Structure 1
Amino acid sequence: MEKLRIDKWLWAARFYKTRSLAAEEIGKGRVQINGVEAKSSREVKAGDEVSLRQGPLTRTVEVMGISNQRGGAPVAQLLYKESEESLARKALAAEQGRLGQEPATTLEHGRPTKRDRRDIEKAQGQGWDSRWSASAD
């Protein structure tokens, strides 16, 4: 076997959990072969350079082998060789992630709960005592 569809190869090399996820990422334009945007049916062969985006990280790998069966991680790592530049970007992203969290990830989404609202009102000095009352004081 000399050539294989890129979606099957990405699945076999364990970049994506399912072949449909690989095809979806290819359809979104997040995978390039030799600098050209790929389609799912595009065939990949040994020596091709594949660039793919996984989250905020762009990985560049060289195809070393072809397999249409998904094996274990050690077997899958034999199918490609990641470039030095890509490994440096990966290490830098890991270091940045270790040093500080993204502020947006700590935000809670949605409306505050009853408990949150009470905490907010307590912090602002508002409570039942400070509210307007219909009593004739």
Structure 2
Amino acid sequence: MESTRIDSWLWAVRLTKTRPDAAQACRGGHVRINDKPAKPSATVVPGDTVRARVGDRTRVVEVVRVISKRVGAEIATMCFIDRTPKPPVEVPIARRDRGAGRPTKRERRELDRFRTQN
């Protein structure tokens, strides 16, 4: 098999839960193949770069192997190379409840430890 539909491929490699979800993502403009908007019937071939917004994450994957039937998770991960950038690290902000007063000695030491780590 040299090519397959993008909605079928997204479902087969387990990037979306169902094929209708993949088709809906394509129709909504959340899927791009080689930086071009993709309809559900667009085809993918090995070497293509697929950018898909799934849930609240944007996944960037490179197609290595084309499949159209859903397979096990181990086999599915061998069909693409994940090139998704790492999410930015969120630094927690030290906040105290209103009216809680000054930090205790223990809380102060924890804050100092946290500040020296970063």
Residue pairs, 1:1-137, within 5 angstroms: 1-83=1-83, 86-89=84-87, 92=88, 96=90
TM-score normalized by the length of structure 2: 0.72
**How far does the alpha carbon of each residue in 1:26-74 deviate from its partner, in whole angstroms, 9 at most, with x for none?**
1100000000000000000000000011223211110000111111111
Identity of aligned residues (%): 40
Structure 2 unaligned residues grouped into runs of 5+: 94-118
Number of residue equivalences: 93
| CA–CA distance in structure 2, aligned partners of residues 87 and 13 of structure 1 | 19
**How far does the alpha carbon of each residue in 1:78-100 deviate from its partner, in whole angstroms, 9 at most, with x for none?**
110011xx2413xx3xx54xx69
Structure with the greater relative contact order (CA < 8 A, sep ≥ 6): 1 or 2?
A: 2
Whether the aligned pair in 1 keeps the contact of 2:7 and 2:23 (CA below 8 Å) is yes
Give the equivalent residue in structure 2 for 1:115: none
Give the equivalent residue in structure 2 for 1:121: none
**How far does the alpha carbon of each residue in 1:91-126 deviate from its partner, in whole angstroms, 9 at most, with x for none?**
x3xx54xx69xxxxxxxxxxxxxxxxxxxxxxxxxx
Amino acid at match of 1:88: K
Whether the aligned pair in 1 keeps the contact of 2:62 and 2:80 (CA below 8 Å) is yes
Secondary structure at 2:78 match in 1: helix
Whether the aligned pair in 1 keeps the contact of 2:62 and 2:81 (CA below 8 Å) is yes
TM-score normalized by the length of structure 1: 0.63
Give the equivalent residue in structure 1 for 2:110: none
Secondary structure at 2:86 match in 1: helix
Structure 1 unaligned residues grouped into runs of 5+: 101-137
| CA–CA distance in structure 2, aligned partners of residues 67 and 81 of structure 1 | 14
Q: Runs in 1 of length 4+ with deviation above 3 angstroms?
A: none
Displacement of 1:2 in angstroms is 0.3
Structure of larger gyration radius:
1
